[in-house]
Structure 1
Amino acid sequence: MTAHDSAIATSTIAVPGTGTTLRGTVLAALGVVAFSLTFPGTAWALDGLGPWSVTMTRLVLATALVGVALLVLRVRPPARTHWAGLAVVAAGVVIGFPLLTTLALTTSTTSHAAVVVGLLPLTTATYSALRTGARHSRTFWIAALAGAAAVVAFTLSEGGGGVSVADLYLFGALLICAAGYGEGGRLARTMPGWQVISWALVLCLPLSVPGAILALSQEPAEFTGHTIAGLLWLAIGSQVLGLVVWYRGMALIGVGRASQLQLAQPLLTLVWAVSLLGEDLAPAAPLTAVVVLACIAVTQRK
């Protein structure tokens, strides 16, 4: 491990001041709320577009938004040392996760797809620990495992316990997104969080623009009200605003602690699935929510 990585590892697990901790927790929690609407937004977008069209169009819209901000503010490109990390962010949260989860949602319900974020907090914390050398207490890992187990058990029971092609897409998304979150949280310690996701989107521009043109020409396209609303949320809420506050929150309280707030994301997604998509809420949801909230409380202790 280099001296730079050691410094990052130390700062990742350092205990911030009370004000910083609260601010970081609130920002990360806002990111979780934004992410919890991603699957419902994707389901709406799929009402009128194919999976590749949804993925590439949301990227073009998001890149246009951040591109204007970068130009107006005259932001200089990141240092050369940051581009490798930005490439991981781009592969994980700009291309990989949106594409794989969109493909999964063509055959899976929103409720069942929540399994991917049931394991995401654990895999993100694990990636961060391996990448930076950050160490967490045994209690932290026990709570993280318990929370992940509770969410996975609940969501798998909703899907009948079987493993489908959609599940394989979701598990792939889980692994690649963990890397994108971990690298983004690391980079956000040395550059503004909004610039992390902005430059990652710009990095994908040579792929997203021709990809969107090709996808829209090959897949059926009907821009219904749900389709437009879903696309706008995916581009603005999930792809930009959610990641901006998420990366800033991780920079303030550490990747490990911030990631565990995502244990609540599948449960929030289920609430949106019921209220926005008309899916049924299982009786076990309240009990799972209590277990998850208890696990979150343990992982957020100093």
Structure 2
Amino acid sequence: MERTRDLQHHSCEKNLNGWINGFIGVVIFSASLPATKVAVLEFDPVFLTLARATIAGVLALAMLGLLKARRPERIQLVPLLLVATGVVVGFPLLTALALQHVTSAHTIVFLGLLPLSTAAFAVVRGGERPRPAFWCFSILGSTCVVAYAISQGLKAAPEGDILMLLAVLICGLGYAEGAKLSRTLGGWQVISWALVLSLPVMAPLAWLWAPSSFAGVHLPAWLGLAYISVFSMLIGFVFWYRGLAQGGIAAVGQLQLLQPFFGLALAATLLHETISLGMFGVTAAVILCVIAARKFSR
């Protein structure tokens, strides 16, 4: 009986740590789209994607060397490539391209779809089986986001919305695959090795795609590039993958429903973008959905 209580206590503590780490990751990610919006105003979106991956890859390589991390096994290489495709290349590139057509506030609303995408891949790739009520609240939260997007922006800039939908889909795969791999390889090691595997391709392309001169690039754009390279591309994933592995991919993934709230606040504060009452209404609805989804996640 005592052993059972100890196991239950350990499980609850691990679950709580997972939600704490996941929350820290979400807070870090919340500034990604506003920072990308600032950077893409003066950097080409393709170069921005290549540059952020290259900078983060160099930092990851140094971190792996200094901490003497073990190399991934051969069977782990394909999942690492899927992580790299989803979160190192796919999501950054697609969101940067989308931000050429829509505001960061508009793209942030689409992030409400990420929990549903992540949960779906948690079932397909992670072997998780949330309860039926979980799916009801996850779908409800995502439906609120999609309905708002359709009512506000699909007619105005369909290119941006299509790019964001593709970004959400491929990012969900990268999140679920990385979280599954984190259980055996470790959270910070997963994103670090994914970045290092991408480095031989991303670094030469970044050099080839670089503009002939950076004279016209101002400090805000450089700060935006620095943030998405160091925090969005590396540090945020250290907390995020650890949280997903500890608390469950589908469950902790619902925290992404909070990301629009933080992101919209940053967009209004830093970029002076207009935030409508409808945006706040959607955010409030998805916050209620994440609370309910967490209750029925297991």
Alignment partner, residue 91 of structure 1: 85
Pairing 1:103-182 to 2, within 5 Å after superposition? 103-159=97-153, 164-182=158-176
Q: Tell me whether 148-157 or 188-197 shows the greater mean CA deviation.
A: 148-157
Alignment partner, residue 36 of structure 2: 42
Q: Please tell me whether the aligned partners of residues 111 and 158 of structure 1 are also in contact (alpha carbons under 8 angstroms).
A: no
User: Gaps (5+ residues) in structure 1?
Assistant: 1-13
Alignment partner, residue 3 of structure 2: none
Q: Please tell me whether the aligned partners of residues 254 and 293 of structure 2 are also in contact (alpha carbons under 8 angstroms).
A: yes
1:112 Cα deviation after fit = 1.4
Q: Please tell me whether the aligned partners of residues 21 and 252 of structure 1 are also in contact (alpha carbons under 8 angstroms).
A: yes
Specify whether residues 262 and 209 from structure 1 end up closer, same or farther in structure 2 by C-alpha distance, changes over 3 A only: same
Pairing 1:222-237 to 2, within 5 Å after superposition? 222-237=216-231
Instruction: Spell out, residue by residue over 1:100-124, the C-alpha distance to the aligned partner (whole angstroms, 9 max, x if none).
Output: 1101111211111124312111011
Specify whether residues 237 and 54 from structure 1 end up closer, same or farther in structure 2 by C-alpha distance, changes over 3 A only: same
Q: Please tell me whether the aligned partners of residues 49 and 222 of structure 1 are also in contact (alpha carbons under 8 angstroms).
A: no
1:137 Cα deviation after fit = 0.8
Q: Please tell me whether the aligned partners of residues 111 and 155 of structure 1 are also in contact (alpha carbons under 8 angstroms).
A: no
Q: How many residues align?
A: 289
Of 39, 62, 65, the match for 1:68: 62
Q: Please tell me whether the aligned partners of residues 29 and 232 of structure 2 are also in contact (alpha carbons under 8 angstroms).
A: yes
Of 250, 273, 285, the match for 1:291: 285
- Root mean square deviation, CA, Å: 1.9
1:150 Cα deviation after fit = 1.4
Using the alignment, how far apart are the partners of 1:110 and 1:219 within structure 2?
26
Of 208, 211, 230, the match for 1:214: 208
Residue 300 of structure 1 aligns to a residue whose secondary structure is: helix
Specify whether residues 111 and 83 from structure 1 end up closer, same or farther in structure 2 by C-alpha distance, changes over 3 A only: same
Residue 107 of structure 1 aligns to a residue whose secondary structure is: coil
Q: Does 1:199 align with 2:193?
A: yes
Alignment partner, residue 50 of structure 2: 56
Pairing 1:236-255 to 2, within 5 Å after superposition? 236-255=230-249
Using the alignment, how far apart are the partners of 2:203 and 2:216 within structure 1?
19
1:57 Cα deviation after fit = 0.8
Residue 21 of structure 2 aligns to a residue whose secondary structure is: helix
Q: TM-score when scaled to structure 2?
A: 0.91
Q: Tell me whether 31-40 or 14-23 shows the greater mean CA deviation.
A: 14-23
Percent identity between matched residues is 38
Report the AA paired with residue 18 of structure 2.
Answer: G
1:162 Cα deviation after fit = 5.1
Using the alignment, how far apart are the partners of 1:161 and 1:259 within structure 2?
30
Specify whether residues 83 and 257 from structure 1 end up closer, same or farther in structure 2 by C-alpha distance, changes over 3 A only: same
Residue 204 of structure 1 aligns to a residue whose secondary structure is: helix
Using the alignment, how far apart are the partners of 2:280 and 2:161 within structure 1?
24
Instruction: Spell out, residue by residue over 1:7-40, the C-alpha distance to the aligned partner (whole angstroms, 9 max, x if none).
Output: xxxxxxx997222222110110111111111110
Specify whether residues 292 and 54 from structure 1 end up closer, same or farther in structure 2 by C-alpha distance, changes over 3 A only: same
